Amino acid sequence: MTITAVMPTYARTDVVFDRGEGAWLIATDGRRFLDFGAGIAVTALGHAHPHLVAALKAQAEKLWHCSNLYRIAGQEKLAQRLVDNSFADTVFFCNSGAEAMECAIKTARRFHQAQGAKHKYRVITARGAFHGRTLATISAGGQEKHLDGFAPRVEGFDQVAFGNMNEMRAAITPQTAAIVVEPIQGEGGIVPADADYLRGLRTVADEFGLVLIFDEVQCGLGRTGKLFAHEWARVKPDIVALAKGLGGGFPVGACLATERAAKFMSAGTHGSTFGGNPLAMAAANAVLDVVLAPGFLEKVTTTAEKLWSKLQPVVAKYPKVFGQVRGKGLMIGLTCKIPNGDVVAKLMAHGLLSVVGGDNVVRLLPPLIIGEAEIDAAVGMIDKAAAELSA
Ligand SMILES: *Cc1c(COP(=O)(O)O)cnc(C)c1O
């Protein structure tokens, strides 16, 4: 037997983390790392945040799981808070980003089909997109490396160039039900959409009666300095998928929708055994306690401004290693001139965790709670790592 007990679907770095403290992770061998990957934008409030720990402990003493056959108080509270702070009127809870996207796609199809438009099922997505690893979401993402060996593709996804409104319009047919776009592509390499493009998608969706879905699984929940990245463009979608940061490290996803879009998602149309379970709701409500507190999101923006202003000159200092800094808020991509995996490895050797992304990008997705000390430490590590890589 050569296969590992854990199915080897990941190329893992040989390190085991034992515990976390704020923006820091401590490995079993005692090494300390500054966590600017945050479990891929998940641990938005860092590790072992006292408020989150207390909330989860308190819930763990009371009730772990309760079926969706019954009302769940934490769901009602979290849904109302998401509704009060967004475009949405209603929320479905699930356990991951891919599941949030599945709900979004199902809701969009049902919107048309329940009104008699049985032929409307196709969804237009953008090249470079990532929407998850289920059969439907790998078809939505359209990336060969994710589809290879998993034929046949789930039918009904059409792909156009990200940011190109002419291609978007040209791809719309009588069968089109919805458009799905990440306001900032994450896995694709931190590629922000223009505000004009996002507004244009709203116009085109209205013109053709399509459902406009934003995948904010990575860029949502305060990462850009707004609760939702699309708020920067002042555009209102019909549906948004949310996950990663929502539980601060506890698995939880959410599909937010307007009343109009979700009108036909009646009892029995969709479900999830674990979706919105009391532990997940306790974690997510605790995350919102912090993120929605007055001044928190403004602070994310000022923190991001400090990080960007210190990062940019260091990146400019090493033109053999780096190209540009791009993204928004604390969702940052460094384009690389050498393989991004080499940069991530060198950063890790200097004590900084980062994440590779598409388009040869290194992603910096620090917890939203970092301060001056973490910014200075991270930029110092990037400086040293890049100096070695340049030599
Ligand atoms: C991570 C991600 C997903 C998938 O989330 P999972 O929790 O891994 O299923 C979907 N969309 C975007 C934009 C993501 O970044």
Could you tell me the CATH superfamily of domain 17-49+294-390? Aspartate Aminotransferase, domain 1 (3.90.1150.10)
Over range 307-320, report the average pLDDT: 98
Residues with CB under 6 A from ligand 1: 96-98, 101, 130-132, 182, 186-187, 215, 217-218, 243-244
Closest CA to 159 of 135, 130, 186, 133: 130
The pick from 138, 139, 244 for probing ligand 1's pocket by mutation, whose C-beta has the most ligand atoms within 8 angstroms, reads 244
Spatial separation of the C-alpha atoms in residues 343 and 325, rounded to whole Å: 14
Residues involved in catalysis: 130, 215, 244
Edge-to-edge strand ranges of the sheet holding 24-27: 17-21, 24-27, 32-35, 352-353
Could you please state the CATH topology (level 3) that the domain comprising 63-291 is classified under.
Answer: Aspartate Aminotransferase; domain 2 (3.40.640)
Q: Is 128 in a helix, a strand, or coil?
A: coil
Domain ranges of the chain: 17-49+294-390, 63-291
Bridge partners of residue 24, in order along the sequence? 21, 34
Strand order in the sheet with 253-257: 90-94, 253-257, 239-242, 211-215, 176-181, 122-126, 157-160
pLDDT average, residue stretch 249-272: 98
Token pair in block for residue 170: 């040209």
CA distance 92 to 321: 43
| Nearest atom, ligand 1, residue 99 CA | 9
Would you say how long the chain is, in residues? 391
Is residue 359 within 8 A of residue 335, CB to CB? The reply is: yes
Q: How confident is the model at residue 309 (pLDDT cuts 50, 70, 90)?
A: very high
Average pLDDT score, the chain: 98
130 C-alpha vs ligand 1 centroid, how far in Å? 7
Instruction: Flag whether pLDDT at 219 surpasses 90.
Output: yes
Mean pLDDT of 328-357: 98
DSSP letter string, 241-281: EE-GGGGBTB--EEEEE-HHHHTT--TTS---SSTT-HHHH
Say whether 63-291 and 17-49+294-390 share the same fold.
no
Q: Is 205 left (phi over 0), alpha (psi -120 to 50) or beta?
A: alpha
Sorted by sequence, the CB contacts under 8 Å of residue 180 that are 6+ apart come out as: 101, 104, 105, 123, 124, 125, 126, 129, 131, 140, 213, 214, 215
Q: Reply yes or no on whether the pLDDT at 1 is more than 90.
A: no
Q: How confident is the model at residue 301 (pLDDT cuts 50, 70, 90)?
A: very high
Q: What is the pLDDT of residues 24-79, one digit of tens each?
A: 999 999 999 999 999 999 999 999 999 999 999 999 999 999 999 999 999 999 99
